[in-house]
């Protein structure tokens, strides 16, 4: 599978896995069944773990331009996650955009930060050998 297609599919997975994991924590009428802070912690840890695993897989295919690729992957995944949230999540919970940005949207910047950081780590490790 080509690297660009894989990057896009992995970006969707970074959003989809936490979304699926979140489903059992809601009642059929959409009420959160656990403490909201605990739920947000689960979502952040889950998203970070899946993102890290998929970054490892993508970066293992690279032989150069790690930082540049990290920026590109991070930007693509960030945009994918925002689009999926705006198209699906906001319609499910009725949240307005300013509230979404404050409570959820800004947290996705971690995707970009992790991806760029992975690029820097790979670049530095490669230059030391």
As a whole number of angstroms, the distance between CA 32 and CA 35 comes to: 8
As a whole number of angstroms, the distance between CA 97 and CA 31 comes to: 20
pTM of the model: 0.91
In this model, does residue 4 exceed pLDDT 90?
Answer: yes
Cα–chain center distance at 88: 15
How confident is the model over 68-86, as pLDDT tens digits? Answer: 999 999 999 999 999 999 9
In this model, does residue 1 exceed pLDDT 90?
Answer: no
Contact (Cβ atoms closer than 8 angstroms) between residue 82 and residue 105: yes
Contact (Cβ atoms closer than 8 angstroms) between residue 47 and residue 12: no
Sketch the domain layout of the chain as residue ranges. Answer: 3-128
- Average pLDDT rounded to a whole number, residues 18-42: 95
């Amino acid at each position: 599978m080509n690297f660009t297609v894989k990057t896009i599919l992995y970006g969707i997975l970074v959003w989809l896995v936490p979304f699926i994991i979140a489903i059992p924590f809601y009642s059929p009428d959409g009420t959160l069944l656990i403490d909201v802070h605990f739920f947000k912690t689960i979502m952040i840890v889950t998203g970070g773990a899946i993102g890290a695993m998929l970054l490892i897989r993508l970066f293992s295919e690279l032989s150069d331009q790690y930082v540049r690729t990290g920026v590109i992957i991070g930007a693509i995944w960030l945009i994918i996650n925002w689009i999926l949230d705006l198209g699906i999540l906001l319609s499910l919970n009725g949240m307005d955009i300013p509230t979404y940005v404050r409570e959820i949207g800004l947290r996705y910047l971690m995707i970009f930060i992790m991806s760029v950081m992975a690029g820097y780590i790979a670049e530095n490790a490669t230059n030391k050998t």
